[in-house]
Amino acid sequence: MLDCPKNGIVSLYVYVCFYDYFRRDMSEMYDLGDIVEMKKPHACQANRWEIIRMGADIKIKCTNCGHIVMMTRRDFEKKMKKILEKN
């Protein structure tokens, strides 16, 4: 254990390092053109989305009805369930 006046600081540092490592791995898993499944299905009852734009924001398109949704990368990573097809 590191010599710190408060153990909370050390545990926070470990948590932040782990979070950054996990986030880096998550962003390298999906790419432009991949088909992903989200946690909740779309209103048209389909749950297949194609990634059509990547950056600070991610734009996905429903493969059934063509509806386009744009969300932050953080929201996308929380709402994505799994990758169905790699492109």
Instruction: State pLDDT tens for residues 43-86.
Output: 999 999 999 999 999 999 999 999 999 999 999 999 999 999 99
Q: Quote the pLDDT of residue 64.
A: 95
**pLDDT tens-digit profile of 12-46?**
566 555 555 555 555 568 999 999 999 999 999 99
Total Cβ atoms within 10 A of residue 60: 25
Q: Quote the pLDDT of residue 19.
A: 56
Checking if the pLDDT of 1 tops 50, the result is no
On whether the pTM is more than 0.75, the answer is: no
Query: Which top CATH class is 31-87?
Result: mainly beta
Q: In the structure encoding, which two tokens stand for residue 6, read together?
A: 């408060």
Question: In this structure, what DSSP letter does residue 5 have?
Answer: S
Q: What are phi and psi of 70, to 5 degrees?
A: -115, 135
Domain extents for the chain?
1-30, 31-87
Q: Is 65 within 8 Å of 42 (Cβ atoms)?
A: yes
